[in-house]
Homo-oligomer: A and B are copies of this chain.
Amino acid sequence: MSNERIDAETVRAIEAIVMVAVEPVAPDLLAQLLEQPTAVIERLCNELAAAYDEAGHGFELVRVAGGYRYQSHADLAPYVERFLLDGQRARMSAAALETLAIIAYKQPLSRAQIASIRGVDPDAVLRTLQARGYITEVDRDTGPGQAILYGTTTSFLEKLGLNSLGDLPPIADFVPSADVVEALEQGLRIDAPAPDAAT
């Protein structure tokens, strides 16, 4: 009973704090402010999120970029977009997405490393991604050139709705399938040609 009272009070405090926060609130911080173990905070937040869901509210409590935040429910996007003048969010170009994919999985890495994977000069794309806050200069290479090394930011996690980089699907899931590998191999085959493949 007493425990339940403490929980109820903690839940209310979580609601109040997350409501005034401008960015996701880390469970550790909530734990510290509310003098509860982080595990308890996480359990209560999960329960709270489930309760909102159950009640069918137009908002949700989600864990993203390492913390909890309130956001509008996805299925109400048409209304919210009508309300927010800048509701339509710019989509990323294929080049930006591919560059971001490389950085997300290989970070920290340099401009030259990105260039060698993509086969094109990534400068313009890197500038765009940096301006949007999805990547940042996280380090300098120890080598002679001291190249800038790029990594992803919490804004990147928020953009993709992920809690942490650990939530990214394992890169192994993306290794091209056998038939793609075979097709590529076939396409670049140099040993004796078949009867007359060359048309």
- List residues of chain A with CB under 8 Å of any chain B CB: 8, 11-17, 19-22, 25, 29, 32-34, 56-59, 70-73, 76, 79-80, 82-84, 86-88, 119-121, 131
Kindly report which residue of chain B lies nearest to residue A120, judged by CB atoms: B131
- Chain B residues lying within 8 Å of A15, measured Cβ to Cβ, are 57-59, 72-73
Kindly report which residue of chain B lies nearest to residue A83, judged by CB atoms: B17
Complex partner residue of A8 from B8, B33, B34, B56, CB under 8 angstroms:
B56
Copies of this chain per assembly: 2
Report 7 cross-chain contacts, Cβ distance below 8 Å, ordered by A residue.
Answer: A12-B76, A13-B79, A14-B58, A16-B73, A17-B79, A20-B84, A34-B79
Query: When A33-B87, A87-B25 are in contact, do A12 and B82 touch as well, CB less than 8 Å?
Result: no
Complex partner residue of A83 from B21, B59, B72, B84, CB under 8 angstroms:
B21
- Chain B residues lying within 8 Å of A80, measured Cβ to Cβ, are 16-17, 20
- Chain B residues lying within 8 Å of A8, measured Cβ to Cβ, are 56
A174–chain B nearest beta-carbon distance, Å: 24
A76–chain B nearest beta-carbon distance, Å: 4
Cα distance A128–B137 in the bound complex, in angstroms: 25
B11 with A58: CB separation less than 8 A: yes
A112–chain B nearest beta-carbon distance, Å: 15
A136–chain B nearest beta-carbon distance, Å: 11
A19 with B82: CB separation less than 8 A: no
